[in-house]
Amino acid sequence: MKKTGVMRTRGIYLLPNLFTTAGLFAGFYAIVASMGGRFEAAAVAIFIAMITDSMDGRIARMTHTQSDFGVEYDSLSDMIAFGLAPALVIYVWSLSSLGKVGWLAAFIYTAGAALRLARFNTQVETVHKRYFQGLASPAAAAMIAGLVWVGSDYSLNPHQWVWPVLGLTVAAGLLMVSNIRYHSFKELDLRGKIPFVALLLIVLVFVFISIDPPLVLFSLALIYALSGPVLTLFFLRRVRAEKAGDSGADAAESEPSIAAPDSEQRADESRTKD
């Protein structure tokens, strides 16, 4: 019986790590496909890695198979699939025409993904569950892969769009290490019951994506990336308005105490005149 216990502690859970391995394979395949000039396949592989990454953690929690090994393995897989693969794919597709500037931009994205994952792992127990601090690496990878997919599907000349591609790549890397908050959608309960209308909306989303997958997925990733700065500016504006309102209220409360002696002095003067 003791040997059996030792074997269980040394073993790893198969099911969640299978999905993690699938994501790692998809990221590696994206790199190989881009080296062969198959950019559409490379972009699709990164999106497949996103699907497997969203499933391995949920499956581990649902089946009670969480482990420290799974957490570390998932981080390493994410670094390949969402940090290294998108940077190399976008570099081979467009940024390579800029020489050193191009690979430096790709490195900024890769370094941003690495720092983002390291910060997330160290703050996972303290950050708010409803929000991410900085753009999540899968969302950044979706934006880069979606751009490559759109360019490949619409036969765009990547060299003519190299400067917008450069700006988007650097922006994605910087957003990952920023303090801008993004909604995490972790409060969604996949095991609970949902209204029939919600299921209908999910079906409509799939129909909407199927109309033009590369353009729709890239647009959704871009909108999500822009939602962080927009919501942050809205939040800061509301906080400043609240502070201005509080200072105005404090000033209004202090006015009667200043005006009261003047009114009392006027009353005394009228009494003396009478």
**Total number of domains in the chain:** 1
Q: Which of 67, 61, 50 is nearest to 189 (CA)?
A: 61
Give the model's pLDDT for residue 202. Answer: 84
Residue 76 resides in a domain: yes
Higher pLDDT among residues 233 and 83, named by residue:
83
Does residue 259 belong to any structural domain of this protein? Answer: no
pTM of the entire predicted model:
0.81
pLDDT for residue 270 = 47
What residues have CB less than 8 Å from 47, skipping those under 6 apart? 142, 145, 217
Any idea which of 8-12, 61-65, 143-147, 220-224 has the lowest mean pLDDT?
A: 8-12
Q: Is residue 153 part of a domain?
A: yes
CATH of the domain at 219: 1.20.120.1760
Q: pLDDT digit string (tens) for 9-48?
A: 567 888 889 999 999 999 999 999 999 999 999 999 999 9
Please tell me the predicted confidence (pLDDT) of residue 112. Answer: 96
| Residue 149 near residue 214 (C-beta atoms within 8 A) | yes
In a domain, 256, yes or no: no
Range in 53-57, 109-113, 244-248 the model is least confident about: 244-248
Indicate whether 10 belongs to any domain: yes
Compute the Cα dihedral for 16, 22, 28, 31 and give only its sign: negative
pLDDT band at residue 199 under the 50/70/90 scheme: confident
- Residue range(s) defining the domain that contains residue 144: 2-236
Domain-embedded: residue 273: no
Q: Mean pLDDT score of the chain, rounded to an integer?
A: 84
Residue 122 lies in a domain: yes
Task: Write b or e for each residue in 34-68: b if 16 or more Cβ atoms lie within 10 A of its Cβ, otherwise e.
Answer: beeebbebbbbbbbbbbebbebbbebbeeeebeee
Report, as an integer, the average pLDDT of 182-210: 79
Instruction: Out of 31-40, 169-178, 181-190, pick the least confident.
Output: 181-190
The confidence band for 273, taking pLDDT boundaries of 50, 70 and 90, is: very low
pLDDT grade, residue 6 (50/70/90)? very low
User: pLDDT over 90 for what percent of the chain?
Assistant: 53
Would 137 be classed as within a structural domain?
yes
- Cα separation, 153 vs 147, whole angstroms: 10
Rounded average pLDDT over 259-264: 46
81-95, pLDDT tens digit by residue? Answer: 999 999 999 999 999
pLDDT tens-digit readout, 102-127: 999 999 999 999 999 999 888 766 66
